[in-house]
Amino acid sequence: MKKNDEEIKHRIITLGDINEENSNDIIHFIHEINYIDSNKNINKREPISLIINSYGGDTYRGLGIIDTIMNSITPVHTICYGAAMSMGFIIMAVGHYRTASINSTFMYHEGSLDLGTIKLTNHKYELHELERIENICDSLLFKHTSLTKKYLKSIKSKNKDWYMNAEEALEYGIIDKIILK
Catalytic residues: 86, 109
Helix (H) or strand (E) holding 7: helix 5-10
For strands 162-165 and 105-108, give the pairing. Answer: antiparallel
- If one counts every other C-beta atom within 10 angstroms of the C-beta of residue 119, the result is 8
Specify the 3-state DSSP secondary structure of 148. Answer: coil
Which is nearest to 65 in space by CA: 105, 43, 86, 94? 94
d(CA 33, CA 47): 9
d(CA 159, CA 23): 29
Helix locations, 102-146, DSSP H? 120-144
Specify the 3-state DSSP secondary structure of 170. Answer: helix
Half-sphere exposure of 137 (CA within 13 A, CB side): 26
